[in-house]
């Protein structure tokens, strides 16, 4: 992402005064007083959540205690949810949109940022539409369903001089910051081997195989177009992320194998389980598993002079861990609140977001995911 200085951002929205629509997209916090970020003290970004499903509830909950942003708008295709959220969170009617009239948000000065919690296959469209409306974007992981879509999203946000973040909540979580430190600072020497697994058993194998109506909202994760893939997209991405940030390296090659399919009707379009191995420039390797047919939540790193591990490791926690020297013990935090404040405080200061939560980071994960699928489909070692 290009470096967005406060001046260039303000200029972007100040020139072309002939267009009322452009002027009206100046975010409410963008008061061009002088260059000191301290002048924005006390300002909050106004956030609209787009797609009011399960995770939107967690984001809304986080937004109840944030210091640098607040829940100000919603985008939903379900009328009953619009009514329920309006009442529950005191959202003004003028800040409520549906997927058809969403682009009108360009005229709404009271929304600065759109948080996208739609199915993966819709992230690209709504990121680009939000960027064109002059809104900053946080999109949930996985950023999109292909590397090419990620590139288009990054370009759209760069072109519009808005910032783009991916909802990588664990980059703000103290236990994960600690394993990142242990790995990258080589506290136990070079990490040589990682095991990571995240799986949720989401159906009953003792019951007959299901035939799934792919138009159903609840089953979008089984629909290739809406999900981009199975548990690798949804859960395995945490194993990829943790391996990368503990090592501070990018994998150079992957091998992968699809797992056993217990329910062929349900998993007609996406995998039920997948195992993969990532090889890193230092010689380290990570062996990872993800599934919706079994439960797993574990991270283990073996280094030259010791080891560290978490279990639970990659879900919502609370996380529990130890090193070869003792316990890893950090307070439980509200992950969504911490992530939102972390991102919004940087945007309020008009500084570029840290690279590890931007669209470029999302693109790296999607590039690795594409290589893992190719490896599983071909049986080859795929060089990244
Ligand atoms: P849900 O199915 O619970 O919610 C998705 C919402 O998107 C729906 O409720 C609906 O909201 C809207 N929607 C619009 N069109 C469709 C469609 N065709 N099919 C289904 N839903 C549609 O999903 P989640 O909240 O679990 O996941 C949403 C995103 O958040 C995903 O990208 C997922 O990977 C990510 N996620 C991230 C987590 C994290 O820890 N960072 C945890 C869980 C999910 P409406 O009725 O308002 O239109």
154-176 pLDDT tens trace:
999 999 999 999 999 999 999 99
Query: How many whole angstroms separate alpha carbon 122 and alpha carbon 119?
Result: 6
Active site includes 94? no
pLDDT in tens, 35-63: 444 445 679 999 999 999 999 999 999 99
More confident residue, 266 or 79: 79
pLDDT of 21: 28
| Strands in the chain per DSSP E | 45-50, 69-75, 96-97, 113-116, 136-139, 164-166, 191-199, 253-258, 273-279, 285-291, 296-303, 306-310, 321-323, 326-328, 382-383
Stretch 341-346: mean pLDDT, rounded? Answer: 97
- Give bridge partners of residue 113 from the DSSP assignment: 47, 136
- Ligand 1 neighbours, Cβ below 6 Å, are 51-56, 76-78, 81, 117-120, 140-141, 167, 169, 217, 220, 226, 234
Residue spans in the chain of domains classed CATH 3.30.360.10: 170-332+357-383
Alpha-carbon separation of residue 134 from 20, 112, 283, 339 (angstroms) = 13, 8, 44, 22
Looking at residue 217, its pLDDT comes to: 53
| pTM of the predicted model as reported, rounded to 2 decimal places | 0.90
User: Rounded to an integer, what distance in angstroms lies between the CA atom of residue 170 and that of residue 177?
Assistant: 8
Lowest-confidence region among 16-25, 170-179, 253-262, 341-350: 16-25
**Mean of per-residue pLDDT scores for the chain:** 89
End-to-end CA, the chain: 21
67-79 burial, b at 16+ Cβ within 10 Å, e below that, comes to ebbebbbbbbeee
170-332+357-383: CATH topology: Dihydrodipicolinate Reductase; domain 2 (3.30.360)
What's the 130 CA to ligand 1 centre distance in angstroms? 17
Active-site residue (options: 40, 115, 172, 238): 238
CATH code of the region 28-168: 3.40.50.720
| Residue 281 burial (C-beta neighbours within 10 Å; 0-12, 13-18, 19+) | exposed
- Cα(266) to centroid of ligand 1, in Å? 19
CATH 3.40.50.720 domain residues, the chain: 28-168
350: left (phi over 0), alpha (psi -120 to 50) or beta: left
- Reported as type and span, the H/E element at residue 348 is helix 335-348
Record the tokens describing residue 93, joined without a space: 């009617």
**Choice between 8 and 314, residue whose per-residue pLDDT is larger:** 314
């Amino acid at each position: 992402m290009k470096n967005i200085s406060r001046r260039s951002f303000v200029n972007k929205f100040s020139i072309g005064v002939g267009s009322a629509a452009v002027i009206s997209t100046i975010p409410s916090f963008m008061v061009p007083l002088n260059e000191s970020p301290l002048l924005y003290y006390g300002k909050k970004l106004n956030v609209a959540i787009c797609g009011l499903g399960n995770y939107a509830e967690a984001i809304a909950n986080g937004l109840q205690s944030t210091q640098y942003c607040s829940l100000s708008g919603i985008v939903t295709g379900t009328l009953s949810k619009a009514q329920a959220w309006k009442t529950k969170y005191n959202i003004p009617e003028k800040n409520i949109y549906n997927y058809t009239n969403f682009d009108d948000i360009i005229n709404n000065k009271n929304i600065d940022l759109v948080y996208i919690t739609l199915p993966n296959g819709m992230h690209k469209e709504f990121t680009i539409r939000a960027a064109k409306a002059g809104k900053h974007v946080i999109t949930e992981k996985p950023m999109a369903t292909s590397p090419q879509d990620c590139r288009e999203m990054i370009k759209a946000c760069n072109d519009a001089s808005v910032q783009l973040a991916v909802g990588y909540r664990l980059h703000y979580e103290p236990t994960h910051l600690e394993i990142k430190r242990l790995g990258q600072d080589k506290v136990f020497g070079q990490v040589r081997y990682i095991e990571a697994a995240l799986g949720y058993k989401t159906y009953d194998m003792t019951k007959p195989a299901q035939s799934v109506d792919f138009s159903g909202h609840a089953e979008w994760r089984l629909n290739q177009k809406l999900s981009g893939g199975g548990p690798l997209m949804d859960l395995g991405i945490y194993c990829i992320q943790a391996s990368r940030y503990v090592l501070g390296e990018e994998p150079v090659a992957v091998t992968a194998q699809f797992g056993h399919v217990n329910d062929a009707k349900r998993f007609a379009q996406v995998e039920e389980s997948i195992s993969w191995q990532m090889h890193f420039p230092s010689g380290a390797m990570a062996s990872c598993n993800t599934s919706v047919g079994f439960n797993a939540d574990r991270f283990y790193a073996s280094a030259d002079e010791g080891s560290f591990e978490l279990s639970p490791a990659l879900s919502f926690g609370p996380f529990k861990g130890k090193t070869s020297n003792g316990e890893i013990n950090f307070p439980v935090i509200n992950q969504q609140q911490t992530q939102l404040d972390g991102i919004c405080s940087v945007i309020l200061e008009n500084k570029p977001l840290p690279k590890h939560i931007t669209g470029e980071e999302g693109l790296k994960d999607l590039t690795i995911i594409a290589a893992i699928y190719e490896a599983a489909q071909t049986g080859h070692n795929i060089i990244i």
